[in-house]
């Protein structure tokens, strides 16, 4: 019912939502026949809310490699994230994980829900991994090795300085960027991107996650996880968890804005990385998560709700991003629009107001300098009044019926699985 309300408030979300629904049903139908590949692709759909659909659109060879790359790292991350595993058990697993990938007998039970299934049935992932080309295998092994070692390092070490924060994000996400650039290059369609730009692609996504997931991570049971660097939060509170208490709301929002400003530093690199891509599927695969990230930051900026619950872009807006992201013009428009949403939220009294404003203006300048911005008015806010209002109402009612029918059958499908 919540979704119907959202669609009523944003009627032009409806078409992209339907299109997305169709595409994800289509993707679910295209599960390969071999049991290990079937496991991998159905797992991908279950564990990755946002990446599955964009991975699905890549060409076969690259798609298989990226799917396995994702699942191997997701399994590694499940070990890292499980706070119930004692350190002396966890560290050796993280460090040796890149070797376990070659061993069809290996498995380690941890995590919960779909992550537990991934860990328990990891042999399917190993089996599929061993069928990839040598070039893909080597790239995946190399990144898994470096990420595992980096995660192990941070199990016993807190994120103190901004330098530590960038280093941690490099291990868990920057390296994914480096690995993906290598896979794109190996697939023959792209040049090899500079490491620093690939790293920025990962850092921008990871920092957005860390900002958005503050409450979830601090409330993690049995042990909380803290990724916000002390160098930033200590300017506002004495303990990181103090940010969630109502009496510290003003400080919390200032700290949040400081974190968002820090993340915005990576945007120009990301734009540069994306502008060098040639393949349409690879381009969409890279650009859609980046646009979602700037959208999420615009939503989180100056928003106390980050400390109260989950702040997420509405599904209709996500669907629009997926539908409308096809070339660099779309990306510049999206970054321009979302920074325009953030800009008026900057409060003159915020300690970092000047810094944030200059970041936002630098991003807008980068988008402007591309010279494509006047061609279309807006990316997100396209108020099309081409049809008469009566037509819209009729059309909308019909689509709403189809939509609620589709969501009810989908809900049924899920219960029967
Ligand atoms: C282009 C396109 C996609 C890119 C990219 C460039 C560069 C980097 C990335 C994707 C990775 C961005 C990761 C951001 C989300 N963060 C997490 O999932 C955290 O875990 C990090 C370690 C595991 C990384 C697994 C991964 C993620 C995305 C991929 C991929 C592998 C392989 C291929 C494509 C995309 C986070 O997870 C918990 C959660 O948020 O659910 C955490 O533990 O901090
Ligand atoms: Mg993790």
Same fold yes or no, 27-157 and 187-379: yes
Q: Which residues of 375-384 are buried (b: 16+ CB within 10 A; e: fewer)?
A: eeeebbeeee
For residue 139, which of 204, 201, 66, 197 has the smallest C-alpha distance? Answer: 66
pLDDT in tens, 78-98: 999 999 999 999 999 999 999
Tell me if 226 sits within 8 A of 193, measured CB to CB.
no
Is residue 259's pLDDT more than 90? yes
pLDDT score recorded for residue 85: 96
Considering the four listed CATH numbers 3.40.50.2300, 1.10.600.10, 3.40.50.12780, 3.40.50.720, the one that applies to the domain covering 27-157 is: 1.10.600.10
Ranges of each domain in the chain: 27-157, 187-379
Identify the pLDDT of residue 216: 95
Rounding to the nearest 10 degrees, give the CA dihedral for residues 404, 407, 413, 417: -150
Atom of ligand 1 nearest to the CA of 76: 23
- Report residue 54 CA to chain centroid gap: 11
49 among known catalytic residues: no
The 10s digit of each residue's pLDDT in 208-224 is: 999 999 999 999 988 88
* Tokens read off for 126: 């190993």
Cβ of 289 closer than 6 Å to ligand 1, yes or no, is yes
Q: What is the mean pLDDT of residues 5-27?
A: 86
Q: Which helix (H) or strand (E) holds 130?
A: none
214 is catalytic: no
- Whether 52 shows a pLDDT value over 80: the answer reads yes
**What is the position in ligand 1's atom list of the atom closest to the CA of 69?**
32
Active site residue 285: yes
- Does 286 sit in the ligand 1 pocket, CB within 6 Å? yes
Q: Could you give the CA distance from residue 91 to residue 303 in angstroms, rounded to a whole number?
A: 36
Among 79, 209, 311, say which to mutate for ligand 1: greatest number of ligand atoms within 8 Å of CB. 209
**Distance, CA of 250 to CA of 253 (rounded, Å):** 5
Instruction: Give the number of the ligand closest to the Cα of residue 115.
Output: 1
pLDDT at residue 411 above 70? Answer: no
Tell me the ligand closest to 83's alpha carbon.
2
Judge whether 119 and 78 are in contact, CB under 8 Å: yes
pLDDT for 61 equals 96
* Residue 120 structure tokens: 């328990």
Torsion from C-alpha of 385, 389, 393, 396, nearest 10 degrees: -10
308 noted as active-site residue: no
Whether the per-residue pLDDT at 250 is higher than 50: the answer is yes
CATH superfamily of 187-379: Farnesyl Diphosphate Synthase (1.10.600.10)
Q: What pLDDT, on a 0 to 100 scale, did the predictor assign at position 415?
A: 60
Q: Is the pLDDT of residue 281 over 60?
A: yes
Q: How far apart are CA 247 and CA 235, in angstroms?
A: 16
User: Residue 410 Cα, ligand 1 centroid: separation in angstroms?
Assistant: 27
Cβ 77 under 6 angstroms from ligand 1: yes
Per-residue pLDDT band at 381 (split at 50, 70, 90): low
> In the chain, what are the helix, strand and coil shares in percent, each to the nearest 5?
75, 0, 25
Question: pLDDT tens digit string along 189-247?
Answer: 999 999 999 999 999 999 999 999 999 999 998 888 899 999 999 999 999 999 999 99
CB distance 304 to 263 below 8 Å:
no
């Amino acid at each position: 019912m919540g979704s119907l309300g959202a669609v009523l408030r944003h009627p032009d979300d409806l078409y992209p939502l339907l299109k997305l629904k169709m595409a994800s049903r289509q993707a679910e139908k295209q599960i390969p026949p071999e049991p290990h590949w079937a496991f991998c692709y159905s797992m991908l759909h279950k564990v990755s809310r946002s990446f599955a659909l964009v991975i699905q659109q890549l060409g076969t060879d690259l798609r298989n490699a990226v799917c396995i790359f994702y699942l191997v790292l997701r399994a590694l991350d499940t070990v890292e994230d499980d706070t119930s595993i004692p350190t002396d058990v966890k560290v050796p697993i993280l460090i040796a994980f890149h070797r376990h990938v070659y061993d069809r007998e290996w498995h380690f039970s941890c995590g919960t829900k779909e992550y537990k299934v991934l860990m328990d049935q990891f042999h399917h992932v190993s089996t599929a991994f061993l069928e990839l080309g040598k070039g893909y295998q080597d790239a995946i092994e190399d990144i898994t090795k470096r990420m595992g070692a980096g995660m192990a390092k941070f199990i016993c070490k807190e994120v103190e300085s901004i330098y530590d924060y960038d280093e941690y994000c490099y291990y868990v996400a920057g390296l994914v960027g480096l690995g993906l650039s290598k896979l794109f290059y190996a697939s023959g369609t792209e040049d090899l991107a500079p490491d620093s730009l690939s790293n920025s692609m990962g850092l921008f996504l990871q920092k957005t996650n860390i900002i958005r997931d503050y409450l979830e991570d601090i409330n993690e049971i049995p042990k909380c996880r803290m990724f916000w660097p002390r160098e930033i939060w200590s300017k506002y509170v004495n303990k990181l968890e103090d940010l969630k208490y109502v009496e510290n709301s003003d400080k919390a929002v200032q700290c949040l804005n400081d974190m968002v400003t820090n993340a915005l530093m990576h945007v120009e690199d990301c734009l540069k990385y994306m502008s060098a891509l040639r393949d349409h599927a690879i381009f969409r695969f890279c650009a859609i998560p980046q646009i979602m990230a700037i959208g999420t930051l615009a939503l989180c900026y100056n928003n106390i709700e980050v400390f109260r619950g989950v702040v997420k872009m509405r599904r209709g807006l996500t669907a629009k991003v997926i539908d409308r992201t096809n070339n660099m013009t779309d990306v510049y428009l999206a970054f321009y629009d979302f920074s325009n949403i953030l800009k008026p939220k900057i409060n003159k009294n915020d300690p970092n107001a000047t810094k944030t404003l200059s970041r936002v203006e630098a991003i807008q300048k980068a988008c402007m300098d591309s010279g494509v911005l006047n061609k279309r008015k807006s990316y997100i806010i396209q108020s099309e009044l081409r049809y008469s209002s009566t037509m819209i109402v009729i059309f909308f009612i019909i689509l709403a019926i189809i939509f609620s029918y589709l969501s009810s059958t989908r809900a049924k499908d899920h219960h029967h699985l």
